[in-house]
Chain A
């Protein structure tokens, strides 16, 4: 593992499988009477949120607490930070408080990258969503959910809605994943394209042309404007939240037209392969990108994704903080290796 988690593009196939495998073990802790591990005792994790996102914050908080880390929540909204105090000064404050890891959510693309490379802090930086750039732990939990359903059966295949399986050690080779919605403004889509491709999946983006970024042709994925053509060839369909405000900027004419052309309803779901799942990063706009019938069906993994988020974030925090502090990326540990190699 590297020192920071900034972008899903930084993860190799093996890095990603290691995180998913680790999350699989973390998920098992949730089934025990004592859902806590002593692993990060004495470590401090700061949740630095410049944007409101209660769901992501409590997911990271639960993950850190299950690993016995001390958690400090620093909500920049409504504090002195909202305007005026800079990211740099906030970072220096956190450094002075001894943060071992900073989980940052920021409205500006690149803010976590800046935090990790500026020298303002010494700890690990975990990107919990930056602007319209990336949201790597969301992509990891999505991939984890896909792997459990599409590669979780004993034969490595789909579980056909018999509950999540265990895909430990596997990737998503050959799986066809369709991501539908506001690709232009979606950090979830960007992270998923990188991660799912690294895991061997074929990704297709579906959106009205106004919501596809200029320059998308260089992304390692297909782009389609026709949802109905793609659905029968999809093992998983991920519906992205579409903000109603986009309508006012003329990205699409009306909610009704958006729902008709790009929303997932029961009829469309019926055209998906029997084993295919429907995913949503939440919160859902029922009636907009997804109908209640689909959201509440056995195929929809939205609630499961939330639970998986805690396991994934435990895995990420463990892999970043559960070992020696690395001087540089991938530096070998030197201290008393020999004695510990047989630390029986």
Chain B
């Protein structure tokens, strides 16, 4: 394999340095490195980050290949600067057996655009009643360590307790979609001032917070770790902060859209803003940003949820919930966290690469940018300003809430183990 020299990149936002890639690994990091025998990429002050890791992606394959496939989803991921994604289990069939997770894992290997680590379902068919074969999925080629019924909450306290306990045997973690089902029957949007006016069924914050409170107490009781998916309210932040202060082994994620968008957008009744958990209030957005900055929330995860056009080109009540996010995640994080002074680039690398890889026990990702490390890298032109145009997305779906919005930053290069998956902003 050939050598690549990235010249003049701000490594983790620091002073410009050169990074020499040799084969699959980083050979050298320093100033004034020799370009001999290497292809040179003039970074010219762009930001160099470790390849991003998304702990929460819906790749839709198998079953909903009309909205996304492993191939199109990983192409979207690479475009967004990701080198690894965790694929959620709510496929058709559900990824609740070793067979299905191995199929997804194999499709990921074949795609070549980024690593795909399947997530296994906690319960059979995501029905919350009977534990899936968690151990078999772990022992499969896919080596599953993260389990989630995402899309549905493991609402039965006993099932949740057992799952938390059971996965300790192989250092697994349960990622909870915190949504008390009875409190969210008919829920269409955040319950509050806007839902009262629009007459849309309310999704109260307490439905999320009560489950998080229960689950951190369960995790404490059984001595397990628990991960909270797409935390969306200020109250949830308070509970996680309290749990961490007690030493409970809890981690939490926030999506880019919950860092930027509020329920005021629902006034348009445009289903592109329909998502679960729903867009919340300005106060929630501010609390989430602060929590991500101070580490209460550990990571950013996209909850990339592709849907075909017809599932959004309809009335609000009939529309599917979810937004695509892989290709805009880093831009939204720059806009909401970096350009606001809440995070520096080193911290972005921590929240979007190092810690997601650590929570998912994913080897080879989220590593330092240093000699001998795997060359999983993302180069970002943070000075770029552009209007989001979904027509240019690599994802098969276009359901982005940012269409027409100006966002900063553009991924110019992505390297997966030394091989460029994105070159000059285009998929290789």
Contact = CB atoms under 8 A, between A and B. Distances in A.
Interface stretch (A172-180, A211-219, A225-233, A332-340): A211-219
A219 B200 contact: no
Contacts of A107: 317
B192 interface: yes
Given A132-B199, A133-B199, A108 B193 contact: no
A130 B193 contact: no
B235 to A, nearest CB: 14
Contacts of A115: 315
A110 B200 contact: yes
30 contacts: A86-B310, A88-B313, A106-B315, A108-B316, A109-B188, A109-B317, A110-B199, A110-B200, A110-B269, A110-B317, A111-B315, A111-B316, A114-B314, A114-B316, A117-B268, A118-B313, A130-B199, A131-B199, A133-B199, A134-B199, A190-B197, A190-B199, A214-B192, A214-B204, A215-B192, A215-B193, A215-B194, A218-B196, A219-B196, A219-B197
**Interface extent on B, as a size class?**
20 to 34
Given A86-B318, A215-B195, 17 more contacts: A88-B313, A109-B188, A110-B198, A110-B199, A111-B315, A114-B314, A114-B315, A117-B269, A118-B313, A132-B199, A190-B197, A213-B202, A214-B195, A214-B196, A214-B204, A216-B196, A218-B197
A118 B201 CA distance: 22
A187 interface: yes
Contacts of B316: 108-111, 114
A151 interface: no
Given A107-B317, A111-B315, A215 B199 contact: no
A214 B202 contact: yes
Contacts, number: 79
B314 A86 contact: yes
B317 A215 contact: no
Contact of A87 (B200, B204, B268, B315): B315
A286 interface: no
Interface string B150-173: 000000000000000000000000
A90 to B, nearest CB: 11
A107 B201 CA distance: 12
Pick the 7 closest A-B CB pairs, nearest first: A108-B317, A215-B196, A133-B199, A110-B269, A132-B199, A213-B196, A215-B193
Q: Which of B188, B197, B314 has the most CB of A within 10 A?
A: B197
Contacts of A86: 310, 314, 318
A88 B196 contact: no
Contacts of B200: 109-110, 131-133
B381 interface: no
Contacts of B202: 213-214
Contacts of B318: 86-87, 108
Interface string B311-344: 0011111100000000000000000000000000
Interface in A80-128: 86-88, 106-111, 113-115, 117-118
A223 to B, nearest CB: 11
B191 interface: yes
Interface residues of A, number: 28
Nearest to B271: A114
Contacts of B198: 109-110, 133
A108 B315 contact: yes
Nearest to A118: B313
Interface in B291-318: 310, 313-318
B193 A218 contact: yes
Given A109-B199, A109-B200, A133-B199, A215 B191 contact: yes
Nearest to A214: B191
A290 B99 CA distance: 62
Interface in A291-328: none
A218 to B, nearest CB: 5
B314 A88 contact: yes
Contacts of A134: 199
Q: Which of B194, B268, B318 has the most CB of A within 10 A?
A: B318
A115 B269 CA distance: 10
Contacts of B313: 88, 118
B180 to A, nearest CB: 15
A284 to B, nearest CB: 23
Nearest to B195: A215
B377 to A, nearest CB: 43
Interface in B266-285: 268-270
Q: Which of A113, A190, A215, A217 has the most CB of B within 10 A?
A: A215
Contacts of A118: 313
Q: Which of B198, B200, B202 has the most CB of A within 10 A?
A: B198
Nearest to A6: B269
A113 B198 CA distance: 11
A187 B200 CA distance: 11
B236 to A, nearest CB: 18
Interface string B60-102: 0000000000000000000000000000000000000000000
Contacts of B310: 86, 88
Contacts of A110: 198-200, 269, 315-317
A36 B188 CA distance: 44
A132 B316 CA distance: 13
A271 B199 CA distance: 33
A82 B158 CA distance: 40
A87 B318 CA distance: 9
A107 B316 CA distance: 11
B419 to A, nearest CB: 43
A220 B314 CA distance: 31
Given A87-B318, A214-B204, A187 B199 contact: yes
Contacts of B192: 214-215
A115 to B, nearest CB: 8
B317 to A, nearest CB: 3
A325 to B, nearest CB: 24
